[in-house]
Amino acid sequence: MLQRLFMRKNLLLVAIALTLSLVLAEIALRIAAPDLVRSEIPLLFMTHAQFRDDFGAIRFAPHQMARSAMIYGHELETDTRFQTNDMGFVDYRDYLPPAKTGARYVFVGDSYAAGLDGERPWIPALRDRFGIQAYALGMGGTGVLGFERMLQSISRQLSFTDVVFVAITDDLYRPLWRPLVRGNGVWLCPGNMSDQACEERWSPVVHLMRYDSTSAELIGQAREIRAEIARKQGALRTWLQNSYVLQLARIVVGNQLRQAGRRAALDESLEALARIRRAHPAGRIRFVHVPDRHETARGKYDIDLAPLLAGTGIDYLPVLGTCPWSMQRYLPNDNHPNSAGYEALAQCVAGMLGLERSSTDR
């Protein structure tokens, strides 16, 4: 009897000590890393969903006036109106009929290349500033595998002499995907996953909105979406998601579990770059490596890409260490550059490509 009471007492002491440790760890993490957990997830709103063409390239519908907005908490982080051209890219100029002579650049990339978070798309502005012939093929959410499909698709209609990838590290790990529209939600589904499985497993990445929605209406729509998410997942899961200790554990364990998959994805992206090089043997290809917010804070890239591209015939051009760059180049809460960041990126790319010399020589 005494032994049983003693064991219960010890178990109680252990439970109290463990609980106290977790509470102290939670408090310490909230002080040391306040951005580790966001109580309200950011929500992306757009007026138009992307579509996948016959080559698997992602585009918008042509000749649309569109709008994109990002909401963090109860405030608009970004709210941008943009135009799509005849080929469904973010540009205020049509690309057809294409130019036939002189240097012709295609800029291929993800949302960093599209530049919807700034005041205006930076690649078309760069083209107009230096009077070059350039096509801006930036499309949010795409990675290197998507860049390959994009080049395969547009090569039927456009001729070009130079390929300039504008990419972040994550682009090397992104799979091919297709957009799935259900109601006001847009899912980005892996190519080998059924629509039903995608809808059940993932949450919408984009939420559709009206072009003329007011800021108050968008914030109200975001509130309703978050309420629906909380209702579906329940109070316990919501509480667990807001735990800093569990979020840190999830990051550590998740990083370990992802390593093998990330290596395979990286190899696949490097093979895609090699195929692109073979498909365009006469053109010059450059890979502009833009740091994301976290790499900028650390002052180094997550991956040393230079030796992996050495000898491939693709010029590696890192922004970090080459051009002035800082945390002030990003939006307050989001991973994307602000207007000043895109202007700095435009100046950096212009220097890398020697556009100043080219415009002076003309």
Instruction: Give the global pTM.
Output: 0.85
Q: Is 71 left (phi over 0), alpha (psi -120 to 50) or beta?
A: beta
Place of tokens 């190899």: 267
What pLDDT does 134 receive? 96
Give the HSE-up count for residue 289: Cα atoms under 13 Å, Cβ half-sphere: 22
What pLDDT does 265 receive? 93
What pLDDT does 362 receive? 47
What pLDDT does 345 receive? 97
149 Cβ contact partners less than 8 Å away, ≥ 6 residues apart: 55, 56, 57, 58, 176
Q: Note whether 301 and 169 are within 8 A (CB).
A: yes
Longest Cα separation, the chain: 97
pLDDT tens-place values along the chain, 362 residues long: 556 666 666 666 656 666 565 555 546 545 655 555 555 679 999 999 999 999 999 999 999 999 999 999 889 999 999 999 999 999 999 999 998 899 999 999 999 999 988 778 999 999 999 999 999 999 999 999 999 999 999 999 999 999 999 999 999 999 999 999 999 999 999 988 999 999 998 889 999 999 999 999 999 999 999 888 777 766 555 555 556 655 655 555 545 555 667 889 999 999 999 999 999 999 999 999 999 999 999 999 999 999 999 999 999 999 999 999 999 999 999 999 999 999 999 999 999 999 976 554 54
What pLDDT does 29 receive? 46
Give, for 69, the enclosing helix (H) or strand (E).
strand 65-72
* C-alpha dist (Å) from residue 348 to 31, 33, 144, 335, 354: 36, 31, 21, 19, 10
Handedness of CA 211, 216, 218, 220 (dihedral sign): negative
Q: Which CATH number applies to 43-218+251-361?
A: 3.40.50.1110
Distance of alpha carbon 60 from alpha carbon 64, whole angstroms: 8
**Among the residues of the chain, which ranges form H helices?**
2-32, 111-114, 122-130, 144-154, 195-201, 215-241, 244-279, 293-298, 306-309, 339-353, 355-361
Amino acid identity of 280? H
